[in-house]
Amino acid sequence: MAQVTVASPTNIAVIKYWGKRDSKLNLPINSSVSITINQADLRTVTTVTASKDFPTDRLWLNGEEEDIEKNKRVQKVFAMVRGRSSKWAGMKVHVVSINNFPTAAGLASSAAGYAALSFALAKLYDLEDAYPGDLSTIARVGSGSACRSLAGGFVAWDMGDKADGTDSCARQVAPANHWPELQVLILVVSDKKKAVSSTAGMQTAVDTSPLLAHRAAKVVPARMVEMEAAYHKKDFAAFAQLAMQDSNQFHSTCLDTYPPIFYLNDVSRAVIQFVHAFNTACGEVRLGYTFDAGPNAVLLVLKQHAPQALAAVLAHFPPERGAEAGYVNRPAMRQAALAVGPPAGLAAAFPLEPQVGVIKYVYHTDVGPGATILDSSEALADSAGMPLMTAPPPRPAASLSGALELCSSSRLQLAAGVLAAAAVLAVAARKK
Ligand code: PMV
* DSSP notation for 399-421: ---B---S-GGG---BTTHHHHH
DSSP-assigned states of every residue in 59-120? EEETTEEE-GGG-HHHHHHHHHHHHH--TTTT-EEEEEEEESS-SSSSS-HHHHHHHHHHHH
Ligand 1 within 6 A of 198 CB?
A: yes
Task: Report the C-alpha gap between 384 and 50 in whole angstroms.
Answer: 9
Task: Report the C-alpha gap between 397 and 101 in whole angstroms.
Answer: 9
pLDDT at residue 250 is higher than 50? yes
- Model confidence band, residue 83 (pLDDT cutoffs 50, 70, 90): very high
pLDDT at residue 247 is higher than 80? yes
- Model confidence band, residue 239 (pLDDT cutoffs 50, 70, 90): very high
Asked whether 300 and 290 are in contact (CB, 8 A), the reply is: yes
Q: Determine the pLDDT at residue 192.
A: 73
Task: Report the C-alpha gap between 171 and 84 in whole angstroms.
Answer: 21
Among 190, 261, 199, 201, smallest CA distance to 413 is for: 190
Q: Determine the pLDDT at residue 393.
A: 52
Asked whether 138 and 80 are in contact (CB, 8 A), the reply is: yes
Task: Report the C-alpha gap between 23 and 30 in whole angstroms.
Answer: 14
Ligand 1 within 6 A of 17 CB?
A: yes
Q: Report the CATH architecture of 2-178+368-431.
A: 2-Layer Sandwich (3.30)
Q: Determine the pLDDT at residue 100.
A: 84
**What digits encode the pLDDT tens for the residues 302-327?**
999 999 999 999 999 999 999 888 89
**What digits encode the pLDDT tens for the residues 149-186?**
999 999 999 999 999 999 999 999 999 999 999 999 99
For residues 30-50, b (16+ Cβ closer than 10 Å) or e, as one string?
bbbbbbbbbbebbbbbbbbbb
Q: Classify the C-alpha dihedral 196-198-203-209 as positive or negative.
A: positive
Ligand 1 within 6 A of 97 CB?
A: no
Q: Which atom of ligand 1 is nearest to the CA of 293?
A: 10
What topology is assigned to 182-366 in CATH? Alpha-Beta Plaits (3.30.70)
Task: Report the C-alpha gap between 112 and 99 in whole angstroms.
Answer: 8
Ligand 1 within 6 A of 390 CB?
A: no
Asked whether 209 and 257 are in contact (CB, 8 A), the reply is: yes
Q: Determine the pLDDT at residue 105.
A: 55
Ligand 1 within 6 A of 32 CB?
A: yes
Ligand 1 within 6 A of 143 CB?
A: yes
More confident residue, 190 or 182: 182
CATH 3.30.70.890 residue ranges for the chain? 182-366
**What digits encode the pLDDT tens for the residues 101-155?**
766 556 767 899 999 999 999 999 999 999 999 999 999 999 999 999 999 999 9
Ligand 1 centroid – CA 298 distance (Å) = 14
CATH 3.30.230.10 residue ranges for the chain? 2-178+368-431
Among 329, 320, 317, 318, smallest CA distance to 271 is for: 317
DSSP-assigned states of every residue in 10-33? -EEEEE----EEETTTTEESS-EE
Task: Report the C-alpha gap between 278 and 356 in whole angstroms.
Answer: 18
Instruction: Tell me the pLDDT of the chain averaged across its residues.
Output: 89
Q: Which atom of ligand 1 is nearest to the CA of 106?
A: 9
**What digits encode the pLDDT tens for the residues 374-397?**
999 999 999 999 999 654 454 443
Average of per-residue pLDDT across 9-16? 97
Q: Determine the pLDDT at residue 223.
A: 98
Q: Determine the pLDDT at residue 207.
A: 98
**What digits encode the pLDDT tens for the residues 212-228?**
999 999 999 999 999 99
Rg of the chain, C-alpha, whole Å: 21
Ligand 1 within 6 A of 247 CB?
A: no
pLDDT at residue 420 is higher than 60? no
Ligand 1 centroid – CA 200 distance (Å) = 12
